[in-house]
Structure 1
Amino acid sequence: MTVPPGDRRSSRRSVARRDRNPRWVPVTAAAGAILIIIGLVLYFGGDDPGPQTRVGQSAGTAGGPTGGPGGGPGATGPPTPAPAPTAASGCVTARTIAAGSSQQSVRVGADTRTYQLAVPAVDAHARALPLVLAFHAFGEDPAALERYAHLAEIGTTTGYVVVTPNGANGRWNFPRRATIGPDDVAFVAAIIGDLGTRMCLDTRRVFATGLADGADMAITAACALPGTFAAVVPVAFAVLPASCPGPVPSLLAINGTSDPVTPLEGGGADRPAPFDGTQAQPMQARLDRYAGSVGCGPANTWVRDTTALRRLVFTACPRGRDVGLLASVGGGHVWPDPDADPPKGAARAQFSATEVALAFFRGHPGPAPATPAPSAAGASPR
């Protein structure tokens, strides 16, 4: 969705200058089968990252390790082994990409598309790396997203490879119409496929996030490429594709309760062509439908944890999967960040969407590859 001038994302002071005062934020909690509490501690500065974000689960609930992704810097658990790589995979060929930020390109049909790549300073030969794709809002580019979200800056310090694709003409073809532009789902698939041959990626830990139209693109890619993404965190998304075949990734939506562009109740003015028909759908209906695709039970009632935070989560999701919503009370059409200068008309956020997304990703790896059953010939005699 187009971002109103009064709700542009604001700049933020450098991460290294931010304080170390911990802020604990309950992000999702599903009563009954799964209990997930994300203890959010913001850490900044130097080589000492400070207290680590942990994702805890209730006793008897299966899930991924609670440490950093894949055992990277700041991890508290062992690395998660990647699925068996293919012959062309960088995990087999030992190919790697040097740490740092660079612009990359990939061929998609007859087009050459570009994206920003940030690689963490870790031993890429030693383990498979998790990947986050982050999609910018309408009319923006990767540099704009990084200025307010700092996903590459923060993500690489905790061991993530971060990719920020560049939308054609600053927009995303999430409705998947030829009149809007090129096929951006094919673009996403090409990026993941190309990087998988040039470095060792953990295919169980591929994630997506984005703001506004970028959030809609993240959801569209996750539904159109089943089994590719393990979890998605859309910020201020508006629409859910009509079909989302399984396996469907875990999802934590983030939205402001005073968002004029993607209001929780849905509606708003329809957008002009070629995006006509993409006004915001009611959030509850979107999440009900998505949770049904995941296989979750009904949503809990709304819970107001603090004066600034509300949440809605779904019960009885399949093992290791979660669907929920974190709402910033009074928040507008922005990427939440407590240290950003709040834009006009929006309340200051009490949490960082970047830290919440990375914490959610840590706790939601994809399923482990199935162990082949022993053949009859190899079975032990009884």
Structure 2
Amino acid sequence: MTVPPGDRRSSRRSVARRHRNPRWVPVTAAAGAILIIIGLVLYFGGDDPGLQTRVGQSAGAGGADGAGPAGTAAGTPGATGARPTAPSPTAPSGCVTGRTIAAGSSRQSVQVGADTRTYQLAVPAVDAGARALPLVLAFHAFGEAPAALERYAHLAAIGTRTGYVVVTPDGVNGRWNFPRRATIGPDDVAFVAALIGDLGTRMCLDSRRVFATGLADGADMAVTAACELPGIFAAVMPVAFAVLPASCSGPAPSLLAINGTSDPVTPLEGGGADRPAPFEGTQAQPMQARLDRYAGFVGCGPASAWMRDTTALRRLVFTSCPAGRDVGLLASVGGGHVWPDPDADPPKGAARAQFSATEVAFAFFRGHPTPAPATPVPSTAAPPPR
């Protein structure tokens, strides 16, 4: 959905200051349920005496941001759970060839049929030859450019500092073809597949740690790509997304949605104004019904009761998900149609978020790689007679 002008502006604080020592750190649980530690206060006073204990109890699955060895990367022959991150029948993985891309930010392009598509690439300053790197795709909102998303979300700045490759693709005419209609534009799912596949031949990417996020229309594109490219994404975190495809190819990745309870564009109860052409007929679907369907794609059980962690945050978590997968929702009480951040300028009349969606994203991604395949149990049956 369109983000109203001014509703996603960042504070004037620098990234280094804002994220230098965050005291409100979301954590994912080792056992699978999404546990966000809420008794934390970001920058504005108050300490939670039980914080360190709960963080220690809950952080087990997340581990460090460092990736595994290059041998676990996309396309590496013989790697445990290895698979190409996107169809690439001829070009070998960068983990095999040793190809790397220099650290830093650069404009890149990839050929998708007759079209040349572009994106912003940010590569961390790490020894890329020594390990496979995780990848995050971040999709901008309607009418934006990648630079606009980076100004308020700082995904590349924060992600590269912790070892992630961050890609911010360009939508044609500032929009995404998440409804998959020819009248809207080119096939953006094909663009995403080509981008990941091409990048995987030029550097060493970890196939178990490919993630997606985005705001508004960008969130819808992230979810659409995750559904239409099975086995590619490990987890997706849509902020203010509106629609879910009618079907989602399995295995569906983990999903943590974020939405403001006072969002007039993508209200939790669904509805809102219909979209103009070429997006006509695209209204926000009721959030819980959407997540119920998605949880079914993942294989989860029903949602637990709503939990209110603080006056500013409610949480909905689905039960009995397959090992290593989660589905849930963080609802920012009073929040509007905006990328949540305690320093962002919220929409008029909306409450200022008291958590950083960017910090939540990387904590969620860190704790949700694609589950490793089960180790086959050796058969104890006697061999057949010769």
User: Shorter-chain-normalised TM-score: which range?
Assistant: 0.7 to 0.9
Aligned to 1:158: 162
Equivalent position to 1:306, from 310, 315, 325: 310
Equivalent position to 2:324, from 301, 305, 320: 320
Residue type of the alignment partner of 2:67: G
The question of whether the paired residues in 2 share the 8 Å contact of 1:233 and 1:357 is answered with yes
Aligned to 1:135: 139
Aligned to 1:48: none
The question of whether the paired residues in 2 share the 8 Å contact of 1:35 and 1:58 is answered with no
Render the CA deviation track for 1:204-258: whole Å, top value 9, x for unaligned. Answer: 0000000000000000000000010000000000000001010100000000000
- CA pair 56-201 structure 1, distance change in 2 beyond 3 A: farther
Aligned to 1:364: 368
Does residue 126 (structure 1) correspond to residue 106 (structure 2)? The answer is no
Aligned to 2:172: 168
User: Which runs of 5 or more structure 2 residues have no equivalent in the other structure?
Assistant: 44-51, 78-90
3-state SS, counterpart of residue 67 of structure 2: helix
- CA pair 140-246 structure 1, distance change in 2 beyond 3 A: same
Does residue 14 (structure 1) correspond to residue 14 (structure 2)? The answer is yes
Render the CA deviation track for 1:117-151: whole Å, top value 9, x for unaligned. Answer: 00000000000000000000000010000000000
Does residue 232 (structure 1) correspond to residue 236 (structure 2)? The answer is yes
Q: 2-side partners of 1:141 and 1:350: how far apart?
A: 26
Aligned to 1:85: 76
3-state SS, counterpart of residue 7 of structure 1: coil
3-state SS, counterpart of residue 337 of structure 1: coil
Equivalent position to 1:117, from 105, 115, 121: 121
Q: Within 5 Å, which residues of 2 pair with 1:1-382?
A: 1-5=1-5, 7-18=7-18, 22-24=22-24, 34-39=32-37, 64-70=61-67, 81-82=72-73, 85=76, 88-369=92-373
Render the CA deviation track for 1:340-367: whole Å, top value 9, x for unaligned. Answer: 2334222111110000000000000012
Q: 1-side partners of 2:133 and 2:20: how far apart?
A: 27
Q: 1-side partners of 2:209 and 2:112: how far apart?
A: 24
**1:16 Cα deviation from its structure 2 partner:** 1.5
The question of whether the paired residues in 2 share the 8 Å contact of 1:10 and 1:342 is answered with no
**1:21 Cα deviation from its structure 2 partner:** 5.8
The question of whether the paired residues in 2 share the 8 Å contact of 1:257 and 1:332 is answered with yes
Aligned to 1:49: none
Aligned to 1:75: none
**1:202 Cα deviation from its structure 2 partner:** 0.1
Residue type of the alignment partner of 1:4: P
- CA pair 296-19 structure 1, distance change in 2 beyond 3 A: closer
TM-score between the two structures when normalised by the length of structure 1: 0.86
- CA pair 251-374 structure 1, distance change in 2 beyond 3 A: same
Q: 2-side partners of 1:197 and 1:104: how far apart?
A: 14
**1:269 Cα deviation from its structure 2 partner:** 1.3
Q: 2-side partners of 1:356 and 1:58: how far apart?
A: 14
User: Which runs of 5 or more structure 1 residues have no equivalent in the other structure?
Assistant: 45-51, 72-77
The question of whether the paired residues in 1 share the 8 Å contact of 2:313 and 2:331 is answered with yes
Percentage of identical aligned residues: 85
**1:15 Cα deviation from its structure 2 partner:** 1.1
- CA pair 364-34 structure 1, distance change in 2 beyond 3 A: closer
Residue type of the alignment partner of 2:63: T
TM-score between the two structures when normalised by the length of structure 2: 0.85
Q: Which has the higher mean CA deviation after the structures are superposed, 291-300 or 367-376? A: 367-376
Q: 2-side partners of 1:101 and 1:251: how far apart?
A: 28
**1:3 Cα deviation from its structure 2 partner:** 1.6
The question of whether the paired residues in 1 share the 8 Å contact of 2:271 and 2:284 is answered with yes
3-state SS, counterpart of residue 296 of structure 2: helix
Q: 1-side partners of 2:65 and 2:4: how far apart?
A: 36
**1:174 Cα deviation from its structure 2 partner:** 0.2
The question of whether the paired residues in 2 share the 8 Å contact of 1:13 and 1:340 is answered with no
The question of whether the paired residues in 2 share the 8 Å contact of 1:233 and 1:253 is answered with yes
